[in-house]
Amino acid sequence: MGGFVESNYCYDILPWLKEDVLPNCKLKDDNLVSALKQYIDHLEGMFDQRNSNVMEENLKNWLKEKLGLQHGWTKENYQNLLEIPETMRRINEKIENIKREPHESFRKITTDFWQDYFKEQFKILDDPIIYDRLFGKDPYMIIGLHKWNDDARMIHLEWKMVEEAFFAERAIPLWLHIEPGSKPVDEILDKLDDDEFKRLIAETGMTFVDRKRYVTNISLDKEFAFMDGEKRKEFLCKTYEKYAPLLKYVYEKCEEVYKND
């Protein structure tokens, strides 16, 4: 006859007991108040709300104190409250910039090393290609020369990493890629089928994936982000010194193939 209302203990009964029933109990109803508090505590435990409620209340009180709201509202603190979202947006922006510091350090050390190396070995003054895409499904950073990396051909060393790897990984895959694009790529691969190339591959510890790809895992003693500046430079330069002769040999074979192209 309309006298029954379906109610949910978590979302209906518990809030009703806390917000309507308990605050309206008379001071003399000690037993009722005690029973209600125990039953409310029982329901909060059942619905895993004890800790969250306490934490939320503590956080709210802390914020009120910091915003000067513990004694009530004023026009000034209300205006301050309205400005907080924009302040938080700027703070989050700065936090993202700080998180990228290890990446920028990695990139700079890498660029400096290969700029000097290519200038010395190939007399090339152009900046090396240090291109990275740390987001998406296939994150990477490539290292190479503009001369051998364009729409027709991509021949380079390649780190496989995501932004979080700087903080969480102690092994990062490093690849040698000789990717297709133009007809001479197959000729380069044929020229690399020699004892010297095989020796360099073995010496660097890379393993064969297919004719166009070789890979190894570079181990770190400590996550890159947690190294100081000197340790970062030492780690990367030592790694690049090991793999530079391999990339140089591949580029020399490229020269042989493309000089008459």
pLDDT in tens, the chain (261 residues): 667 777 888 888 888 888 888 888 887 778 888 888 888 888 887 877 766 666 777 788 888 887 787 778 888 888 888 888 898 899 999 988 888 899 999 999 999 999 999 888 888 777 788 888 877 677 889 998 887 777 656 889 999 988 888 999 999 999 999 876 666 778 888 888 899 999 999 999 999 999 889 999 999 999 999 999 999 999 999 999 999 999 999 988 888 887 765
DSSP the chain: --------IIIIIHHHIIIIIGGGS-TT-HHHHHHHHHHHHHHHHHTT-HHHHHHHHHHHHHHHHHTT-TT---HHHHHHHHHHHHHHHHHHHHHHHHHTHHHHHHHHHHHHHHHHHHHHHH---SPPEEEEE-SSSS-EEEEE-GGGBSSS-EEEEEE---TTHHHH-SEEEEEEEEE-SSTHHHHHHHHT-SHHHHHHHHHHT-EEEETTEEEEEEE-SS-GGGS-HHHHHHHHHHHHHHHHHHHHHHHHHHHHHHTT-
Is residue 242 located within the same domain as residue 128? yes
Asked if residue 3 is part of any domain, the answer here is no
Residue 78 sits in the same domain as residue 207? no
In a domain, 2, yes or no: no
Co-location of 145 and 185 in the same domain: yes
Task: Tell me: do 90 and 111 sit in the same domain.
Answer: no
Q: Which of 40, 74, 99 is the last residue of a domain?
A: 99
**Residue 231 and residue 195 in one domain:** yes
Question: Domain check: are 88 and 105 in the same one?
Answer: no
Q: How many CB atoms lie within 10 A of CB 213?
A: 15
Indicate whether 235 belongs to any domain: yes
Residues 132 and 107 in one domain: yes
- Report the CATH number that the domain containing residue 178 is assigned in CATH: 3.30.1460
Q: Does 95 share its domain with 107?
A: no
- pTM for this prediction: 0.68
Count of domains observed in the chain: 2
CA Rg value for the chain: 32
**Boundary-marking domain end, from 44, 77, 99:** 99
Could you tell me the residue range of the domain that residue 216 belongs to?
101-258
167 and 231 part of one domain: yes
Q: Domain check: are 134 and 232 in the same one?
A: yes
Same-domain pairing of 32 and 109? no
> Do residues 167 and 140 make contact, with C-beta atoms less than 8 angstroms apart?
no
Residue 178 to residues 111, 141, 230, Cα–Cα distance (Å):
21, 15, 32
